[in-house]
Structure 1
Amino acid sequence: MTLVTERVEAARPGLSQIPYTVGRTETASPSLAATEYHVMTGEAVASALRRLRRDERPDVIVGHTGWGGLLFVKDVLPDTPVLGYCEYYYNGQNSDFDFDPADDASEAHRMRLRMRNAAQLVTLQAIDAAYTPTRWQHRQYPQSLRDRIAICHDGIDTRLCRPNAAAEFTLPDGRVLRAGDEVVTFVARDLDPYRGYPQFMRAAALAARARPDALFVVVGGDGVGYGRPREDGRLWREVMAQEAGLGERMVHIPWLTHDELIRLFQVSATHVYLTVPFVLSWSLLEAMACGCLIVGSRTPPVQDVIADRRNGLLAPFHDAAALAGTIAGALARRGEAGGLREAARATVLAKFELEACLDRQTGFIERLAAQNDLRAAETAWAEAG
């Protein structure tokens, strides 16, 4: 297996790596900045594939459709099957772009957003097959393309992510949390508005008044994440910690190993997951597989997997009071929520179980490889004749 990558990973048995670099864009048009970067990425990957072609032609190429890496693959290796990973198609309406009324959804921004899809559209026209993780992500693509894009998640390891009534989690200050404790959890790669961090903190401050024994554990970094940095240069974590004023009842942990994260989910009384209309976090599905009682935002990606009062609870993204009431109510009735927890795990088992997802993905790849073998055999037969 060969990885063509801009960022070299740690060495692994059976994996070779071909690094590439992308220069700086120089276009004067703001609408073309992303497109130029994607084209430059495609050119760099094409150069790397030429080096690979001299040594050994790949059986199948799998890559991301959205960043330009697959743009020129078919020009370098026209007979090699290509499978594209379709993560996200940008839309100017009913999407993350216009979800927050306070955001700048100007005509100029919409023009730049439309052009961000240019490389992806060209790529989808050229490659052999494509897939996307969820139904909601699938619906973001133009209707004319959806028939070419299968739906298949990367999968959740439900043997690792499972309920454990004996689990314990040790906080940085030495306190030990156990299943049954009144623990509210919130997890995001970075604590930013895309994942509803400000909304969660405001709701936590209100819920804390109703539940004086509740402890709020937040995991996430201080990076920009999917949004933009604050104009005042301050961190969202600092601003919201000051606004919420929860002191020791709010514990922030910048980063956890995966095993530690699973243990945190296993002791969680209520796990809060919020997102604007954007790619669903794998952490939500892992929390569900651990049997968490989920309080989620009533936004389309979450509604793809959570049905209110069937396998979790939903609340409006922008309504801190309603979200706080849902959190407080979930804590008050957490002993009666066994059915919701079981249904959350059952959802993941039925739709996102790792082995089933891997079987489906490898099936895509094997079928493409078989087509390549057939084409090669036909070519050899024609040349022999």
Structure 2
Amino acid sequence: MIGSLVAEGVEVTLITERPAQEAPGVRQLVYSVDETATQHPALAATEYHLRTGEAVARLMERLNRSDPPDVVLGHIGWGGMLFARDALPDAALIGYCEYYYRSTGSDLDFGIDEPVPAADRQRVRMRNAAQLLALDTLDAAYAPTQWQRRQYPAAYRQGIAVCHDGIDTQTCRPDSEASFVLPDGRVLTPAMPVVTFVARDLDPYRGYPEFMRAAATLAARHPDALFVVVGGDGSGYGRPRSDGNSWREAMCAETELGDRIVHIPWLPYENLIRLFQVSAVHVYLTVPFVLSWSLLEAMACGCLVVGSDTEPVREVIRDGVNGLLSPFHDAQALAERIEEALSSPALMRPLRRAARETVIAAYERERCLARQTGWVHQFGD
């Protein structure tokens, strides 16, 4: 959005904890946060949000004295918007509502039979404190998907619009002539049975263990299939393993896939798109949580996606129409769906086309940006 606003002649100031690459027309103000730990575990995130809010407010107050902004747009979940109304009483505030934590019907209790421990319920409730305080001060708000919007309390939900950040469908597009070079020099093309899996970190939130178990089952049935996984060894959205191993190490040991699977920690964006373009089947799994951009980018590239039958994914993928769905925790069923896709490439072509059409119709970047910048101009004029 920043580039679009600058192109329209808007004066943009970025308040950030991590300096971004310098861009013409964008002034950056950098803050730092005192990470002094609280004594109460349920308050760890809340205190960090408070300290973030204080640090950001100091910069906002300085701006208010010298060059007061007309509009402030910020993520409400990390504390930066906590004191924006106090620091900038005359500015219009637009909040980005990414995720509201819940102890039931969401990521915390997904797939478990026993009750969520009281300490975890208290922790996630307190984690929302900064969001609730910020929501009460906003002039407008938006969430990237309908499901993410529905996680917010009903009292605020009506005031939250839905608009994704958008996918560049010109960059993310099918290419029958694409090729992808593996780290060992092997060249992959769209004609090969390549199964892909991508996540920021390889963790249970994004279904990495289930994917690996499905891959092991499928590898025995399809000797030519190659599995390519992109993702880091961090703990991701979950907690680190108690044995100190990464999930990659643990699952490679369990499945013994050997050279049938290639793990790549990170890829430049243009290489990731080429990987999507050569993918025969792309697997995307997630617990009920924030929907990854990578799913929509893969669909825009015309991937045949086998996704988890969970609410965030069902918002985008209709089974048998623009992709295939499989139960999150059933690795055997997942293997069968991947095999179905690999075995019937001609039958899957309409699903691939429909996947791209879905992204163009609802998530195309220019349309999303037009809505977002429209809100800025609406409140800034």
TM-score, structure 1 normalization: 0.94
Shift in Å, 1:129: 0.7
Shift in Å, 1:26: 4.1
Which one of the candidate residues 56, 66, 87 is aligned to 2:67?
56
Cα distance between partner residues in 2 of 1:283 and 1:88:
18
Do the aligned residues in 1 keep the contact of 2:174 with 2:300 (CA within 8 Å)?
Answer: yes
Pair 1:232 & 2:243 matched: yes
- Cα gap change, 1:26/1:262 in structure 2, threshold over 3 Å: closer, same or farther? closer
- Cα gap change, 1:186/1:102 in structure 2, threshold over 3 Å: closer, same or farther? farther
Q: Which runs of 5+ in 2 are unaligned?
A: 1-11
What percentage of residue pairs aligned between the two structures are identical? 62
Could you list the per-position Cα deviations for residues 248-303 of structure 1 after superposition, in whole angstroms to 9, with x for gaps in the alignment?
11011111111111111011000000000000000000000000001000011100
Cα distance between partner residues in 1 of 2:173 and 2:308:
23
Cα distance between partner residues in 2 of 1:100 and 1:234:
23
- Cα gap change, 1:102/1:243 in structure 2, threshold over 3 Å: closer, same or farther? farther
Do the aligned residues in 1 keep the contact of 2:70 with 2:90 (CA within 8 Å)?
Answer: no
Which stretch of the first structure deviates more once superposed, 97-106 or 167-176?
97-106
Do the aligned residues in 2 keep the contact of 1:25 with 1:33 (CA within 8 Å)?
Answer: no
Pair 1:265 & 2:276 matched: yes
Shift in Å, 1:335: 2.5
Do the aligned residues in 1 keep the contact of 2:43 with 2:123 (CA within 8 Å)?
Answer: yes
Aligned to 1:66: 77
Could you list the per-position Cα deviations for residues 146-176 of structure 1 after superposition, in whole angstroms to 9, with x for gaps in the alignment?
1110000000000111111011111111111
Cα distance between partner residues in 2 of 1:115 and 1:293:
40
Cα distance between partner residues in 2 of 1:147 and 1:282:
25
Aligned to 1:323: 334
Shift in Å, 1:104: 7.9
Cα distance between partner residues in 2 of 1:2 and 1:265:
35
The one-letter code of the counterpart of 2:25 is: G
Could you list the per-position Cα deviations for residues 124-146 of structure 1 after superposition, in whole angstroms to 9, with x for gaps in the alignment?
00111110000110111111111
Aligned to 1:378: none
Query: Where in structure 2 are the equivalents of 1:144-159 lying within 5 Å?
Result: 144-159=155-170
DSSP-derived class of the 1:120 partner: helix
TM-score, structure 2 normalization: 0.95
Shift in Å, 1:21: 1.2
Pair 1:160 & 2:171 matched: yes
Cα distance between partner residues in 2 of 1:329 and 1:160:
29
Do the aligned residues in 2 keep the contact of 1:167 with 1:267 (CA within 8 Å)?
Answer: yes
- Cα gap change, 1:103/1:357 in structure 2, threshold over 3 Å: closer, same or farther? farther
Aligned to 1:135: 146
Aligned to 1:41: 52
Structure 1 or 2, whichever has the larger Rg, is 1
Shift in Å, 1:7: 1.1
Aligned residues between the structures: 370
DSSP-derived class of the 1:337 partner: helix
Cα distance between partner residues in 2 of 1:334 and 1:271:
13
